[in-house]
Amino acid sequence: MAEGSESVAGEGVPQGEAIHEELIAAMGAIYGSHDRRRAVHAKGVWAEGTFTPSPEAARLSRAQHLAADPISALVRFSNASGKPDAHDGERNGGGMAVKLRAPDGEEWDVVCVGPPVFVARTVEDFLELLQLRKPEPETGQPDMAALGEYLGRHPEAQLSVQSTLGSEPPASYVTVPYHSPHAFKLIGPGGEETWVRWRWRPVADEERIPDEEARARGRHHLREELTERVASEPAAMELAFQLAGPDDSLTDPTELWPDERETVVAGRLEIASVIEDPERDGHIEVFDPTRLPDGIEPSEDEILLARPKAYSVSAYRRWDRG
């Protein structure tokens, strides 16, 4: 699905590759099927703001979104779960997706999640892991022995799992960082090429809270906190580019790039208001990490290139139900 905004009501589910259909079905088996909701990241908070790029970013990429003038931004913070009523105090990684719109309408989707790396190298491995996470009818829990055996065979998955389960819940959507585990090529004004990963990070210090406090704050406390925060002044996040080193993989999203790699602040996002869900009457907003402007290109990362097809299946299914 190439467009950022779609009207899909009344259309059928596209005939995609079988594995992308299986991925969405496996997510539904974990979280249940919920009409007109995403298969994962089902619970979200929408916001609007502006993005102002830095001069350093314009030197790295000719993308018009990184020129000098501020541009509009549509933002969706989310819980990683596929349950629309998930409690905000759960440890699940979360996500931050931003649609940057240039004056001529060209869109760039900057899609990030909490863990700094992904949980699988291949689509087949990711599907196997999802299927193993399906709760058993007798216990309501997955087969932990089978999951442990999978992690033993796939040690590359453990960093993502540890990052998700080992991080306390956020105090606010805007007090924790969000990462893209994928590499992208920036093309400069003179044709120079630079490989990067990007991330959103809070301008203020990172702040998390104990599980007990997060549960006590209520099921929807992150939305309430963000609404209250931006009522007085915009909430700020930085877009940062981490530059690849000579030995960093450009195609393995499970590999962590070292912290000592050079990082460039690419711009500042100021979130001005929380808004109502814009998805209604057959209109949806799709955040696609391969929707890139001229001046930015994707890597050959298998997981990255598979995501748009799975998103397409999910998008059409959620508007075909009911």
Give, for 289, the enclosing helix (H) or strand (E).
none
Q: At 200, is the secondary structure helix, strand, or coil?
A: strand
Q: How far apart are CA 78 and CA 71, in angstroms?
A: 22
Burial status of residue 96 (CB atoms within 10 A of its CB: 0-12, 13-18, 19 or more): buried
Query: Which alpha helices (DSSP H) does 72-122 contain, by range?
Result: none
* Cα–Cα distance measured from residue 24 to residue 6, given in angstroms and rounded to the nearest whole number: 19
Q: Alpha-carbon distance 8 to 28, whole Å?
A: 20
Backbone angles phi, psi at 129, to 5 degrees: -65, -45
Whether 221 is a known active-site residue: answer no
First to last CA, the chain: 22
Main-chain phi, psi angles of 9, to 5 degrees: -55, 135
Residue entry with tokens 């299914």: 317
**Dihedral sign (CA 30, 31, 32, 33):** negative
Q: Residue 228 carries which side chain, given as an amino acid letter?
A: E
Catalytic residue among 41, 87, 182, 221: 41
Q: Are strands 296-298 and 71-78 parallel, antiparallel or unpaired?
A: unpaired
Q: 188 near 61, Cβ under 8 Å? A: yes
Catalytic residues: 41
